[in-house]
Chain A
Amino acid sequence: MDKSLRFEEQLLALVPRLRRFAMSLSRNEADGDDLCQAAIERALKSHDKWQPGTRLDSWAMTVMRNIWIDEVRARRRRAETFVPPEAGDAVGDAGDRRIEAAVELDHVDRALATLPDEQREAIALVLVEGFAYKEAADILDIPIGTLSSRLVRGREALMHALGEAA
Chain B
Amino acid sequence: MTTIDAATRMAYVDGELDEIARRRVERAMADDPVLAEAVARDRALRERLRARFDRYAEAPVPERLRSLLDTSVVPIAEAPQPRRRPSMRRWVQGAAIAATLVLGIAIGRQSGTTGPIVSRNGALVAHGRLQTALDTQLASTQPSDAPIRIGLTFRDHEGSICRTFAGDTLQGIACRDGGGWTLTRTAAAGEREGSYRQAASGVLAGEAQDMMAGSPFSAAEEAAAKTRHWR
Q: Which residues of A come within 8 Å of B, CB atoms?
A: 1, 3-9, 11-12, 15-17, 19-20, 22-24, 32-33, 36-37, 40-41, 44, 47-48, 52, 104-105, 108-109, 123, 126-128, 132-133, 148-149, 151-152, 155-156, 158-159, 162, 164, 166
Contacts and interface: CB of A to CB of B under 8 A. Distances in A.
Given A105-B52, A164-B41, 7 more contacts: A3-B184, A6-B71, A12-B122, A15-B66, A24-B52, A33-B65, A37-B68
Given A5-B97, A12-B122, A23 B53 contact: yes
A152 B84 contact: no
A148 B52 contact: no
Interface residues of B, number: 58
User: Which 4 pairs across A and B sit closest by C-beta, in order of nearness?
Assistant: A20-B57, A1-B210, A12-B69, A20-B56
Contact of A9 (B62, B69, B94): B69
Interface string B84-109: 11010001111001000000000000
B77 interface: no
Interface in B1-52: 6-7, 10-11, 14-16, 34, 37-38, 41-42, 44-46, 48-50, 52
**For the complex, would chain A's binding face be called helix, strand, loop or mixed by DSSP majority?**
helix
B16 A132 contact: yes
A19 B58 CA distance: 10
A19 B55 CA distance: 10
Given A20-B54, A133-B16, A128 B184 contact: no
Contact of A19 (B65, B71, B122): B65
B125 to A, nearest CB: 11
A20 to B, nearest CB: 4
A166 B41 contact: yes
A19 B64 CA distance: 12
A152 B156 contact: no
B53 A16 contact: no
A35 B54 CA distance: 17
A6 B97 CA distance: 10
Greatest chain B CB density within 10 A among A1, A32, A40, A44 is at: A1
A52 B53 CA distance: 29
Given A1-B210, A20-B53, A159-B41, A47 B84 contact: yes
Interface in B168-222: 173, 175, 183-186, 210-211
Nearest to B48: A108
Nearest to A47: B84
Contact of B158 (A3, A24, A104): A3
Contacts of A23: 53, 56
